[in-house]
Amino acid sequence: MHNTLYSVITGTGNYIPPKRILNEDFLAREFYDADEQKLTRPNREIIDKFFEITTIGERRYVADDLVTSDIAYLAAEQTLKSSGTDKETLDYLIVAHNFGDVKHGSNRTDMVPSLAARVKYKLGIKNPNTVAYDLPFGCPGWLQAIIQADYFIKSGDAKRILVIGAEVLSRVADPHDRDSMLYADGAGAVILEARTSTVPTGILAHKTRSDTFLFSKMLDMGKSYNPDIEDKGDIFLKMNGRKLYQYALETVPQAIKDCLEKSRVPISKIKKILIHQANGKMDDAILKRLYNLFGQEEVPPGIMPMTISWLGNSSVATLPTLFDLILNNKLPDHQLQEGDYLLFASVGAGMNINAMVYKM
């Protein structure tokens, strides 16, 4: 057998904000619908229904003095330390996000210089050959950055890459939109390194698709639903939740199946499925449809680790944070060993979907 070049994750880290926002914290909130009509149902009823649909009981928000590049830096610093990586040896530093740095009390995006440039500066990296850039790709952004990094490594262009997913959604969500209860803040990061091996290891296959022609406006930016708010030109994250749910159920399972078939790894060998978490019930339905595509009626118990109930939807931070928590035994019901096969998958604004098969 001959040596083949693979991309392997050699370090992980995260930043989970300590500030917990419970569902009960929304009891005094005024909610409006898309037609700018105030909701007449009691908030207790609205929140209970939200929990029933999404399984989200709490989420995390950053402190007032932090922005996205700050928490991206904190996750990156932890990743470099835990892996013992010399920061000056990084060939690329990629930050996946969607809204840049948004300061407390504002929802205005600040992306110049790039967040990657800011993180590189905060880390004190002096090497000009550490190329720093951002990747906005909706919630699948971190996984897409991993896919790009894999291409850099496989081409021989890079040996070591830091990939970060960071987002502060709490400052771009319309406080008068029920969907604001979905969103959370956080950051996660990994080091991806080149490794030659005679047996398959690390990233085995990936698949991406973009359904922009029909579905580009499933998530977009718009004004507050509250008509009494003075129009200062502020825009907030908006989502067509019902149509997105249907799109995800119809499209994500097939995209994952395509990736599995590309990897030639049978679904029976997959130890864990790490999926982006925007809605717990939706992920359950996606998984059931995925296994049905392979002729299986039952989903193996415990195959999908979930953090959404206490971390909410932290967009690009969800997958790297989830992976780091598992590796550091912070999710006691989920362990990974050398040789295990993982499936990563995400869906989000674009609409974009991606998936990746990885061998520990």
Please, which residues bridge with residue 352 across strands?
210, 348
Q: Copy the structure tokens of residue 205.
A: 């296959």
| pLDDT, tens digit (0-9, with 9 covering 90-100), for 93-148 | 999 999 999 999 888 899 999 999 999 999 999 999 999 999 999 999 999 999 99
pLDDT tens for 215-268 read 998 899 999 999 998 777 889 999 988 899 999 999 999 999 999 999 999 999
Beta-strand pair 131-135/160-168: unpaired
Write out pLDDT tens, residues 66-91: 999 999 999 999 999 999 999 999 99
Q: What is the DSSP letter of 32?
A: B
Q: Give me the pLDDT at residue 198, please.
A: 95
pLDDT at 354: 98
Rounded distance between C-alpha atoms, residue 82 and residue 54, angstroms: 33
CB neighbours of residue 77 within 10 Å: 18
Q: Per the structure block, which two tokens stand in for 277?
A: 């978490």
CA-wise closest residue to 194 among 1, 9, 359: 9
Cβ–Cβ < 8 Å for 194, 160:
yes
Look at 1 and 218; give whichever has higher pLDDT.
218
Q: Where are the domains of the chain?
A: 4-197, 202-359
d(CA 348, CA 219): 8
Query: What is the pLDDT, as a whole number, of residue 140?
Result: 98
Burial of 256 from C-beta contacts in 10 A (0-12 / 13-18 / 19+):
buried
Nearby residues of 282 by Cβ (< 8 Å), 6 or more positions away: 245, 248, 249
Residues in CB range of 142: below 8 A, 6 or more apart = 96, 163, 164, 165, 188, 316, 317, 319, 320, 346
Q: What is the pLDDT of residues 135-193, one digit of tens each?
A: 999 999 999 999 999 999 999 999 999 999 999 999 999 999 999 999 999 999 999 99
Confidence band of 332 (pLDDT split at 50, 70, 90): confident
Query: Which residues pair with residue 133 across a beta bridge?
Result: 94
Q: What does the DSSP assignment read for 82-95?
A: HHT--GGG-SEEEE
Q: Identify the three-state secondary structure at position 234.
A: coil
Long-range pairs for 196-199 at CB < 8 Å and ≥24 separation? Answer: 196/3, 196/4, 196/5, 196/6, 197/3, 197/4, 197/6, 198/1, 198/2, 198/3, 198/4, 199/1
Q: How far apart are CA 163 and CA 175, in angstroms?
A: 31
Report the alpha-carbon distance of residue 31 to residue 40 in Å, rounded: 9
Q: Residue 107: what pLDDT?
A: 86
Which pLDDT value is given to residue 127? 98
First to last CA, the chain: 20
Instruction: Count Cβ atoms within 10 A of the Cβ of residue 330 and give its class: 0-12 exposed, 13-18 middle, 19 or more buried.
Output: middle
Is pLDDT above 80 for 1?
Answer: no
Tell me the average pLDDT across 46-61. 96
* Per-residue pLDDT tens over the stretch 198-224: 999 999 999 999 999 989 988 999 999
Residues 302-320: tens digit of each pLDDT: 999 999 999 999 999 999 9
The dotted CATH code for 202-359 is: 3.40.47.10
Q: In this predicted structure, what is the pLDDT of residue 257?
A: 97
Dihedral sign, Cα of residue 115, residue 119, residue 121, residue 127: negative
Q: Which residue do the tokens 């698709």 mark?
A: 209
Q: pLDDT at residue 338 above 80?
A: yes
Beta strands in 67-175 (DSSP E): 92-96, 131-135, 160-168
Instruction: Please report where in the chains the tokens 């470099």 appear, as a residue.
Output: 80
Tell me which fold the domain 4-197 belongs to: Peroxisomal Thiolase; Chain A, domain 1 (3.40.47)
Q: What is the pLDDT of residue 242?
A: 85
pLDDT score of 277 more than 80? yes
CB-count exposure of residue 70 (10 Å: 0-12, 13-18, 19+):
buried
